[in-house]
Structure 1
Amino acid sequence: IAMQSIEDQIMRHTCFSKSNLKVIQEILLEQTKSKKYQKMFNQIKDWMELSFEEKKEQLDFYCGIFLDSYGLLKKTFSSDLIENYPILDETFNQEALRVQKFLNQWRAWHIANFTRSFLDLGRIILQTYEKLKTSNFVLTYDDLINKSLELLRRPDIAPWILYKLDGGIDHILVDEAQDVTPEQWAIITSLVEEFFYNKNSDSNPRTIFSVGDVKQSIYRFQGANPDYFIAIHHYLKDKAIQSQSMWHDLELQMSFRSSPILLQFIDIIFSNPEASKGLKLDNIALTHIPYIKNRPGLVELWPLVKKEKKVERKNPWNGMLDNTKNLLPAHIIVAQQIAKKISEMINCDFLECRNRYVQPGDFLILVRKRNQSGFADELIRALKNYNIPVSGIDRIKLTDQLVIMDLIALGQFVLLEEDDFNLALVLKGPLVGLTEEELFDLGQGRSSSLWKALQAKKHLNPYKEVYKFLTKILNLFYAASPYEFYSEILNKLEGRKKLLSRLGQEAEDALDEFMNLILNYEEKQGSSLQSFLQWLIKNDIEVKRDFEQDNVNYVRFMTVHGAKGLQAPIIFLPDTTDIPYVNTKLFWEENEELGSIPFLVPSLKFETNFTKQLREKEKNMTMNEYRRLLYVALTRAEERLYIMGWENHKNLPEESWYSLIKKGFEEASQSFDKDTHIKIEKDNDIWRLSSYPQYDRNIKNTPDHQIKEGLPYWFFEEYKIDKDQIPLLSPSLYNRTINFENSKILLDNKEKIEKFERGIVIHKLLENINNVPRGHRNEVCEMFLKNFCDHWPIEKRNEIKNEVLNFIHHEQYNWLFDLKGQNEISVKANIKDKHNNIIRGIAVIDRLIVLEDEILVLEYKSDYIVPLSIKTVKDSYLRQVAFYVQILKKIYSNKKIRSFLLWTRKPKLMELDPTILDHYKP
């Protein structure tokens, strides 16, 4: 009620003057020939006739008579009219100023009202939050700081705490001091206060050491304040001087990271007063001293990619679209340019700071925002197209990734089959891939759930395979943990392949992090799919990935904030054309008595002169940090720095990184013009600054390093055999050394291929089928043959299925599959050949069963013609098994070894006589 009366009071006393409006009306009434003036007359007349409550509702209408959309006075009257009626312009301006004053008070009243409501709401939220923390015995990181500070500020207990601490603290070290918050500084100053008053003896002085760089203060969103950092510096310095303590101000200008030319260029950029705002240089020129004086370096500024670029995109499948012009977004072009450049450099360009050729791990790509305009996804896609290993984004918000949305939708469906929405997402998504028309035909006119509709059409195409796929997933859900559930879908059911084929290889990182997250959740929270999905969605999980290891060999992609403290030989800066936009609605004003006071301005409609000043102050602080962020980005480079960008605006902002760097090149072109060892040029709109003739070396003269598409350097190197290396022998190599029987009938290529495929399929089934429960083996065989042998006729698939099942279920041989054994087991050992030479044997055995006193070796054969006895078995088969036996004798010297050939065509088990095998030893 009180606030409402204040608004009424403002309206009645400051909104308008009847006498002024009457003067304006009288003059306008005489201007009968002007529609514009007659319209204004009617507007004022209509306003005057409104009731008080109606006037409150029509404020915008009335203010629009006198002010433009920016709140400035309108230039309404012609010069002739003003000359004839000077009082008109004077009266109109008086009323316009009155409106401005009124609006400022009216907006201030609303801001006070909004802020009061905001504080009331915030108080309730904070009270609830504190109760939750207390009931769960939880403290946040901020709580540790604030509660410590509260203790140190309590007059009844602080002296005792400081007394107890005073005897135990001799040295205080503050690292990264520019990022320390005011609250943290308050704790530090409380602890250090006694250092200046109760000085120990000179033999044991107490010290404070603070190291920080105000130019690198980029964590304002966490509370860091560079001005406060400078103020604390002066405060501690004054304390030391007053107490006659030693004080040293050390300037650390030497850089152990970057090459001299890079440091010189950075100094030139920030010699521009516009660029140095916020770096707190105090009108002192920025000067870096390189530790390595003779290290070469390179800086390149590529031309901006225009907002739209027409390119030819040819459809590889038909010529219909060959002449179609498509617009390729500028950020995609930049991503492709970077990927191409990196592919050309890997193993081709020599890196002086590493004394070797460039590797993927030498690149660090830095951006301001993690996925500006979808650039991150496009860049990762482009790099993977060149087969360049790339880390992916340093932080992934899983629930924002399309690939994770698909997996969540699938999980929601299996939890509730009647969930039509999530089932529709699955049906339309990459895992199933129904078209719009197929989904519409399935869903329209149904009287029950979408799942019931699918069940009703499970015998019709294309829904038949869809129903089978989803049924398998539902069965899997009932028997598996969340990790096993998604692992089976992604791997055995080829979900990963389907998702990546639709969403691109860049989705692989999110998939891997998703699976890691499930595994960690199961270890700590249990194996409930419903609870996992609820936890994932509710907490909006963001995964932070660690790229700080020194031994990684992939391109790293991260934000400048994430790269703080890191470095790389080669840096790319692509996100250089945007400037931060201050769109905050909450502003803070510091008051000595009241502390930080908030002001909530929900829209520009309520902006006052005071809040405009706060907004301008916020903008200046944001832009200052924007320039400090540029400094941090530039100083990550050791040897090379590449800058590029794409147009986001009609005109490139003068404050943008790109503009500041371009001005740096223009200045450098004059500074280095006469320097003999530094080369600066502009070629095809590419600015290039380099400091070494080594770049003129002809890398092409070193053929071992001629590489494209990001292949590793060893790909082109000749393999060198160690003279002392033991020769390697495998069954296939062993058989190649023997002349095959001339009496064998040669098969044509087609028959060879069919025979080869048939053998592989049977081996694969035998390798895995014994792990499947007997009742499900028929279904699993059918599914396997359908997925991998779809090009075979159904008769042939059934023939293979029956052959395998008849074999493993045969009453004379099934004991071999009931025993615990290993399939496709790799064995190796050093053995002696017939000439007593040592050879390194390696083989893969179809099935190996290790019993207490003997070893069983099983080799599957799927020949059409089954030998009647061992006498008619191919020599190559006997050599193969004999080779296995030789290796196993070396490994299991104390066990008897029995070997078998298992013929699948006509179920037959043939044990091989060891004395016969001895004739076929290597």
Structure 2
Amino acid sequence: MSPETRDFNDAMAAQRTAADPGQSVWVSANAGTGKTRVLVDRISRLLLAGTKPAKILCLTFTKAAAAEMANRLSERLGSWAALPDAELKTAIGKLLGRSFEGDLAPARRLFAEVLDAPGGLKIRTIHAFCESLLGQFPLEAAVAPHFAVIDERTEAELLAEARDAIFSRAVAGRNPRLSDTLNRLAAIVDEAGFDGVIRELVGNRRQLRDIIARYGSIDGVIAAARQSLGMAADETVPSILAAAAENASFDEPGLFKLCEALDQGTKTDQARAGTIRGWLKNPAWRTHGLTGDYAKVFLTAAGEPRAERGLITKGAREAASDAIEIILVEQARIVAMADKLKAAAIVQSTTALLSLAEALLENYERLKQTRGLLDYDDLILEARDLLRGDGAAAWVHFKLDGGIDHILVDEAQDTSPEQWDVIGALAAEFFAGESARAGHRTVFAVGDEKQSIYSFQGADPAAFERMRIHFSQKAAQAGRDWKSVEMPLSFRSVWAVLKTVDRVFAPPEAADGLTFGERPLRHLSNRAGQAGLIELWPTEKPQTEPDLDPWDAPLDRVPASSPQVRLANRVADQIKAWLDSGEILQSAARPIEAGDIMILVRRRGQFAEEMIRCLKQRGIPVAGSDRMSLTEQLAVMDLMALARFVLLPQDDLSLAEVLKSPLFDLDDDDLLALARGRKGTLWEELKRRAPERANWSEAAQSLTHFLNRADFTPPFEFFSDVLGPTGGRRKLVGRLGFEAHDPIDEFLALALNYEREHVASLQGFLQWLQAAQTQVKRDLEHGRAEVRVMTVHGAKGLQANVVFLPDTCTVPDGRLDDRLLWTGEAVLWPGFKDNEESVCQGLRDDARASRMQEYRRLLYVAITRARDRLYVCGWENKRGRADGCWYELMETAMLGSADEIDLGFGEPALRISAAQSADADSRSDKTQARREAEELPTWAERDAPLEPTPTRPLAPSRPSDDDPPVRSPLGVDDGHRFKRGRLVHALLQTLPDLAPETRERAAKNYLARAVHGLDASAVEEIAAETLAILDHPDFAGFFGPDSRAEVPIVGEIGGHIISAQVDRLAISPGTVTIVDFKTNRPPPKDESGVAVIYLRQMAAYREALKRIYPNHDVRCVLLWTDGPHAMTLSDENLDDHAP
């Protein structure tokens, strides 16, 4: 057996073990090893084993992952329902890893069972599950029964409202303590810094909420902050200085002796001796000196301890043998005191911030509660508290204990500690020994700590290993089966890529933070014999840039000579060369296509924009950015400029922007001709001179139309008119490209959302849109024949045959440092960087080390997106490459094993390659269909033609508009007449089913209901009229056992769709009788007096029933209730009125 076959068999065995529903399993899976398949296999086997769909809960990280998993499962179960027996046995046997000879009927029914399960199979995100849980137990969770979940924009609006309310109270003097807090904060940060720290605090409110709950109040949190800084409860800046100035706190004789030694030294020594001596002899000045001249003897201007050589010169040192010891001891005391002062300043700033945060969050929570709202954090925290609380938690667990038997967790490495709390609480009863009922119950989790890159969302990769140990111990204590499974075999990347991964992370410093257990990094590939390529290009370095004329150079323009632009051009040239030459992707035996290529960056910025621009310049299909700021998109900016103009026609700038946009396409010459020398506004000039040029005239007409609609048209309707009938979307997409569709669609969706929650006005919508930044995430996941430019975070879970990594020469820097420092027990806010003492510096160093760990995990994710080829490149700034950057890690791994090649870059590149030795693998690579840009068909821009007949269903009781004249609504008996008719019809429908002796009582009881508003005489009259019909011997056949009431009939007659209800249908051998009740008063005496509408109605009924009963005679009868008497309509008369 070859090593490749053995690896494949081992991988299949590991997958089957992971999918075994008879045991709880924890899977650690490398990138591309088939995690989603294992989850689908496990759910399939659970269902095959007889588990009800409602008993399974599968939690995913994203909605897209949930949808993908549900689709795969539906596709499998749907195929099982239709496969021939032999093929189905083979499919199930492959799933189980053994031959299957059991009953196939249960497997075929699974698809229907899943569809029929209440609420469907529970494959959802953790947030969606918590939302449903809170919706199921709102009272127990103390949330509004019909709560709504808010998005990030609404959350920001509520926080801004809460903040403004606090400021208003403080400014008005209604809360002196709050006013004092704001004054203290204003002395520490400016407005921008304040907003930043508040955003950070609000973003971490889960941690703050937990800490407050732990200590019971903000005061308890502040006390914990003091303790973490080593400060006593009563220590303040004055008390610290006073204590440091006391004689007992320093060696006074020793310091005088030091002064004598310093007098023997240089002028600097002598000056320091004077400072020390003055401080010692003047106790009143000591406190001030400790933060002034005296402290400067021992500390630098930056507050750092002076080096030993800078404290005392050689001459002074030789004057007294113990001088150096004395000065070092005093320096250590001053340093400790300075740290204490910094700690006290930190306590002051933290106290001010937390006091404000308490008020802010209280306001925010109050606003949500009064409006019945929850944010995404609330969903997790409220669900956690519901499941872990002391009150109703037992009841909730009792109800859930009968509903969930199996929990599956996808992407477990991205699960935050709070989310693990929810999962742990759900699974607590699984290993408790006794639950609400007997039965086998399991926990399954699959993840890869090497791919944990969402720390900004609370993900903790170390928790992955902690929870594995937790559940394995719980299972062992309960005597339950437990397996830890590894999946190292990749079905995605070729061996050349995976071998490079192992080399990159082989050094301990590179592997730091990649894994948290003791398992070594090990990758295997299932694509043996497939060609692979890794190239490391030389970096682009800065060049001397010419001075640009500020008048001509936009502030945000990146010079063409910058290394970023040169690298973007180099990558674009390479891709263009491949597409033009038909470069072969050897593993698939076909040319490389644009859709095969993915360009990954660490963050969106100038390079990503330049990269997209360079690709577009060369005519290369490109999908655009994977995430965009909506108000920065050109299409949206043009629409907003139009809105600003129609709201204020005197706004010349906005009008100029609109005229130059694709909506009107005027050029600079047009604008200069209009604007130069004008005496009024640009709009007045355009209207006056519109006849001079056709494009001016067209623009003026369209703008006048928009102006006329602006004041009374809601935003969505206004912009729909701009984009639809007037061709605005077509014009914008024509110039900006297909990617303009996404921001336009999102813009319209926001307009609709705004109208749902606010008073619909164009001005309000414009202000609302500009008040908060709206990020749009574009779906670049599925088969687009375009180059994808994405962040590594956005590419998580995706793959490409060819991957470029151009953003490799920088590392996370100090600009990303958090303002807040979390100790695990408390939170600290230094306020100023100079305030950071040793505890803060240690926390800061730990945070930076954690960021570097995630930085390296991000590289792992980036490399493992590549299936066949990986190209690593980068640009340097004036300081060169950063230590420990991706480029450095890749270069270290490739040196010694890679070949040096000349690619014409001026410096050699490094290449690792493997030749194709196996057949092309068509199964693992689906050729993407290229989508060529096409003109919108002309029919899409025209009004829809009239519908051909048959049109909408025609009610025979109203077949035309030739109705008889309607009586005046002012008639004395008119309202009673229609009510009377409806009541008689209702009685004639229901009374025939009752025994004759009970009909009168039932009729009167029904008519006497208050809802009908009838007096006693009317009740008697209508009951008597109805019973007279039922008791009449001539009508007995109409209400016999072979008759039915209110029979629906539908058919196509004479080019019309007939849809109606027949009052009564009696069927006897050879004859079908249609009976229609008429309550007109007085009724016609003979057939000639029947209204035409009734004749057409009955003729339509007859034609429809002739199609249904072709071997029967169809008889039509009008039964006049006033009398009563039955009138049979002649066939001749009906023929004249047939449809």
Query: Quick check: 1:640 aligned with 2:875?
Result: no
Identity rate, percent: 34
> Would you say the 8 A contact 1:311–1:328 is kept in 2?
no
Query: Quick check: 1:385 aligned with 2:617?
Result: yes
> Would you say the 8 A contact 1:178–1:216 is kept in 2?
yes
The corresponding residue for 2:579 is: 346
What amino acid is the match of 2:317?
Answer: I
Distance 1:239 1:112 in 2: 42
Q: Residues 416 and 194 from structure 1, CA distance in 2 versus in 1: closer, same or farther, beyond 3 angstroms?
A: same
Query: Quick check: 1:126 aligned with 2:340?
Result: no
Distance 1:424 1:47 in 2: 70
Larger CA deviation: 153-162 vs 83-92: 83-92
> Would you say the 8 A contact 2:597–2:800 is kept in 1?
yes
Query: Quick check: 1:219 aligned with 2:454?
Result: yes
The corresponding residue for 2:428 is: 193
Query: Quick check: 1:370 aligned with 2:604?
Result: yes
What amino acid is the match of 1:143?
Answer: D
The alpha carbon displacement at 1:199 in A equals 6.1
Larger CA deviation: 91-100 vs 620-629: 91-100
Unaligned runs of 5+ in 2: 1-179, 181-231, 549-558, 921-928, 947-1139
What amino acid is the match of 1:689?
Answer: I
Deviations 1:51-82 (A, max 9, x none): 97996599366544322336132324332332
The corresponding residue for 1:331 is: 564
Distance 2:329 2:659 in 1: 68
Q: Residues 303 and 567 from structure 1, CA distance in 2 versus in 1: closer, same or farther, beyond 3 angstroms?
A: same
Q: How does 1:366-765 map to 2 (within 5 A)?
A: 366-371=600-605, 374-401=606-633, 404-405=636-637, 407-417=639-649, 473=703, 476-479=706-709, 482=715, 509=739, 513-514=743-744, 516-518=746-748, 521-522=751-752, 525=755, 528-549=761-782, 551-581=783-813, 582-591=816-825, 597-648=826-877, 650-669=879-898, 684-692=907-915
The corresponding residue for 1:262 is: 497
> Would you say the 8 A contact 2:650–2:682 is kept in 1?
no
Deviations 1:457-494 (A, max 9, x none): 99899x99999968963652333665686688899999
Q: Residues 38 and 279 from structure 1, CA distance in 2 versus in 1: closer, same or farther, beyond 3 angstroms?
A: same
Q: Residues 420 and 15 from structure 1, CA distance in 2 versus in 1: closer, same or farther, beyond 3 angstroms?
A: farther
The corresponding residue for 1:183 is: 418
The corresponding residue for 2:140 is: none
Q: Residues 160 and 686 from structure 1, CA distance in 2 versus in 1: closer, same or farther, beyond 3 angstroms?
A: same
> Would you say the 8 A contact 1:271–1:285 is kept in 2?
no
The corresponding residue for 1:356 is: 590
- Report the 3-state secondary structure (helix = DSSP H, G, I; strand = E; otherwise coil) of the residue aligned with 1:650: coil
What amino acid is the match of 1:641?
Answer: L
Deviations 1:126-179 (A, max 9, x none): 112212222222222322221121122222322232222222221111111111
The corresponding residue for 1:845 is: none
Question: May I ask how many residue pairs the two structures share in their alignment?
Answer: 670
> Would you say the 8 A contact 1:353–1:638 is kept in 2?
no
The corresponding residue for 1:844 is: none
Deviations 1:787-809 (A, max 9, x none): xxxxxxxxxxxxxxxxxxxxxxx
- Report the 3-state secondary structure (helix = DSSP H, G, I; strand = E; otherwise coil) of the residue aligned with 1:558: strand
The alpha carbon displacement at 1:355 in A equals 3.4
Q: How does 1:780-859 map to 2 (within 5 A)?
A: none
Distance 1:645 1:535 in 2: 40
What amino acid is the match of 1:578?
Answer: T
Distance 2:418 2:316 in 1: 62
Q: Residues 493 and 62 from structure 1, CA distance in 2 versus in 1: closer, same or farther, beyond 3 angstroms?
A: farther
> Would you say the 8 A contact 1:311–1:327 is kept in 2?
no
Deviations 1:824-845 (A, max 9, x none): xxxxxxxxxxxxxxxxxxxxxx
Distance 1:391 1:524 in 2: 28
What amino acid is the match of 1:391?
Answer: A
Distance 1:509 1:713 in 2: 13
The alpha carbon displacement at 1:638 in A equals 0.7
> Would you say the 8 A contact 2:235–2:344 is kept in 1?
no
Query: Quick check: 1:238 aligned with 2:509?
Result: no
Q: Residues 667 and 117 from structure 1, CA distance in 2 versus in 1: closer, same or farther, beyond 3 angstroms?
A: farther
What amino acid is the match of 1:383?
Answer: L
Q: 2:291 aligns with which of 54, 59, 64?
A: 59
The alpha carbon displacement at 1:354 in A equals 3.4
Distance 2:615 2:399 in 1: 58
What amino acid is the match of 2:800?
Answer: A
What amino acid is the match of 2:291?
Answer: L
Q: Residues 38 and 487 from structure 1, CA distance in 2 versus in 1: closer, same or farther, beyond 3 angstroms?
A: farther
- Report the 3-state secondary structure (helix = DSSP H, G, I; strand = E; otherwise coil) of the residue aligned with 2:794: coil
The corresponding residue for 1:920 is: none
- Report the 3-state secondary structure (helix = DSSP H, G, I; strand = E; otherwise coil) of the residue aligned with 1:641: strand
The corresponding residue for 1:740 is: none
Q: Residues 421 and 243 from structure 1, CA distance in 2 versus in 1: closer, same or farther, beyond 3 angstroms?
A: same
Q: 1:288 aligns with which of 496, 508, 523?
A: 523
Q: Residues 561 and 272 from structure 1, CA distance in 2 versus in 1: closer, same or farther, beyond 3 angstroms?
A: same
Q: How does 1:101-180 map to 2 (within 5 A)?
A: 101-180=336-415
What amino acid is the match of 1:690?
Answer: S
- Report the 3-state secondary structure (helix = DSSP H, G, I; strand = E; otherwise coil) of the residue aligned with 1:387: coil
Distance 2:436 2:733 in 1: 69
Q: Residues 131 and 403 from structure 1, CA distance in 2 versus in 1: closer, same or farther, beyond 3 angstroms?
A: same
The alpha carbon displacement at 1:29 in A equals 5.0
TM-score by length of 1: 0.64
Q: Residues 652 and 243 from structure 1, CA distance in 2 versus in 1: closer, same or farther, beyond 3 angstroms?
A: same
The alpha carbon displacement at 1:512 in A equals 5.1
Unaligned runs of 5+ in 1: 314-325, 592-596, 670-678, 698-710, 716-763, 772-819, 822-922
Q: Residues 239 and 350 from structure 1, CA distance in 2 versus in 1: closer, same or farther, beyond 3 angstroms?
A: same
Deviations 1:542-577 (A, max 9, x none): 11111112x211111111111111111111111111
> Would you say the 8 A contact 2:638–2:661 is kept in 1?
yes
- Report the 3-state secondary structure (helix = DSSP H, G, I; strand = E; otherwise coil) of the residue aligned with 2:802: strand
Deviations 1:644-696 (A, max 9, x none): 11013514223111111111101534xxxxxxxxx77676421111101689x
Q: Residues 79 and 153 from structure 1, CA distance in 2 versus in 1: closer, same or farther, beyond 3 angstroms?
A: same
The alpha carbon displacement at 1:618 in A equals 0.8
> Would you say the 8 A contact 2:804–2:871 is kept in 1?
yes
> Would you say the 8 A contact 2:586–2:916 is kept in 1?
no
Distance 2:661 2:299 in 1: 53
Distance 1:397 1:500 in 2: 18
What amino acid is the match of 1:632?
Answer: V
What amino acid is the match of 1:686?
Answer: A
- Report the 3-state secondary structure (helix = DSSP H, G, I; strand = E; otherwise coil) of the residue aligned with 2:769: helix
- Report the 3-state secondary structure (helix = DSSP H, G, I; strand = E; otherwise coil) of the residue aligned with 2:484: coil
> Would you say the 8 A contact 2:263–2:270 is kept in 1?
yes
Distance 2:697 2:328 in 1: 76
> Would you say the 8 A contact 1:308–1:329 is kept in 2?
yes
